[in-house]
Amino acid sequence: MIIRQIFNNNVIRAENQVGHEFVVIGNGLGFKKKNGQRVDEEKIEKTFVLKSDKIPQKLIDLIGETSVEYLKVADEIVGSAKTEMGDIFSDNIYISLIDHIQFAISRYKKSVGLKNSLLWQIKKFYKKEFMIGMRALDIIHAQFGIQMDEHEASFIAMHFVNARQDAQGMKQTVEITEVIDDIFNIVTDYYQLALDETSFNYSRFITHLQYFAQRMLNNEQEQRASGDNFLYEQVKDKYAKAFQCTHLINQYLESKHESAMSIDEKVYLTIHIQRVTSRNDMASS
């Protein structure tokens, strides 16, 4: 690898023989070096392998002013997330995570903790991301000796939720979570039951709500061509109670979000509600 930019004595930007760029960390990697020289690969401790061919300028700027410890912690947390969920996150996760960790540690050193009003929803609807957040707390504690609470884990989890949804923006991630929570509450209130969160149908139901809420907020719902309503009528008759619940959800969407479900969305949601509320997927109250 060839040095392309020196951030400090321990962090550089490098390029391999096929033109891919990396952020490389190692004690003394940049000390008395110049752009264009070969990287002393024996000193490499960590390598940020990014998806895009070029490193985002915002990440370059952030790295230039961030200590090696924060970079290593962020890289370890992202590595843990990829092990759990696969390489599905955008490169922006490094930017948001490094920035968040620095701010969080600064707050905790001043004994200032923040409460996440969506803690319950994050734990319930984004279980894997929340688990990543809890593991992140262990990594942070091991590096900095600071023990953070589950509210902080939920904030970290939200960054990973955001990073796997095409970096849509934290504001929309919050909105999606709130929509899911509202729909979830309509279903459980209507059926007066607790859903089995360990069931496969529950996982499919929550996943459907996540993508449905994203499409709805982005105005991406597909409208089916008029004509064949056979499946719609079949579902409406066969799953009458689930269909009525879907009708209540549609009323909520029209009232609060000025968005109505398409025929297809009603069919799919009714089927998911029928499955998740069936006797085999009902948890004991």
The whole-angstrom separation of Cα 59 and Cα 98 is: 9
Mean pLDDT (the chain) is 88
The residues, ordered by sequence, that sit 6+ positions from 71 with a Cβ below 8 Å of its Cβ are 11, 23, 25, 46, 48, 63, 98
- Under 8 Å between Cβ of 97 and 156: yes
pLDDT computed for residue 23 by the predictor: 86
pLDDT computed for residue 166 by the predictor: 57
pLDDT computed for residue 284 by the predictor: 43
- Top mean pLDDT of 47-51, 156-160, 279-283 is at 156-160
pLDDT computed for residue 11 by the predictor: 87
Please compute the mean of the pLDDT values over residues 121-126 and round it to a whole number: 94
Please compute the mean of the pLDDT values over residues 129-141 and round it to a whole number: 97
Please compute the mean of the pLDDT values over residues 77-95 and round it to a whole number: 88
Task: State the amino acid at position 55 in one-letter form.
Answer: I
pLDDT computed for residue 226 by the predictor: 45
Phi-psi region of 15 (alpha: psi -120 to 50; beta: other; left: phi over 0): beta
Give percent of the chain above pLDDT 90. 56
**SS3 per-residue string spanning 9-38:** CCEEEEECCCCCEEEEECCCCCCCCCCCCE
Could you tell me the end-to-end alpha-carbon distance of the chain, in angstroms, rounded to an integer? 60
pLDDT computed for residue 282 by the predictor: 54
Q: Which two tokens stand for residue 39?
A: 């990287």
* Beta pairing class for 194-195 and 21-25: unpaired
The whole-angstrom separation of Cα 284 and Cα 279 is: 10
The whole-angstrom separation of Cα 183 and Cα 261 is: 13
Please compute the mean of the pLDDT values over residues 73-96 and round it to a whole number: 89
Q: Is residue 168 scored above 50 in pLDDT?
A: yes
pLDDT computed for residue 148 by the predictor: 95
pLDDT computed for residue 237 by the predictor: 93
Helix (H) or strand (E) holding 282: strand 282-283
Please compute the mean of the pLDDT values over residues 37-44 and round it to a whole number: 91
- Sheet of strand 46-49, all strands in order from the earlier edge strand to the far edge: 2-6, 11-15, 21-25, 46-49
DSSP code of 277?
A: T
Q: Which one has a higher pLDDT value, 134 or 71?
A: 134
The whole-angstrom separation of Cα 85 and Cα 161 is: 11
pLDDT computed for residue 285 by the predictor: 40
Please compute the mean of the pLDDT values over residues 237-252 and round it to a whole number: 96
> pLDDT category, 223, cuts 50, 70, 90?
low
Per-residue pLDDT reduced to its tens digit, 89-121: 887 888 889 999 999 999 999 988 889 999 999
pLDDT computed for residue 78 by the predictor: 93
Q: Which one has a higher pLDDT value, 60 or 161?
A: 161
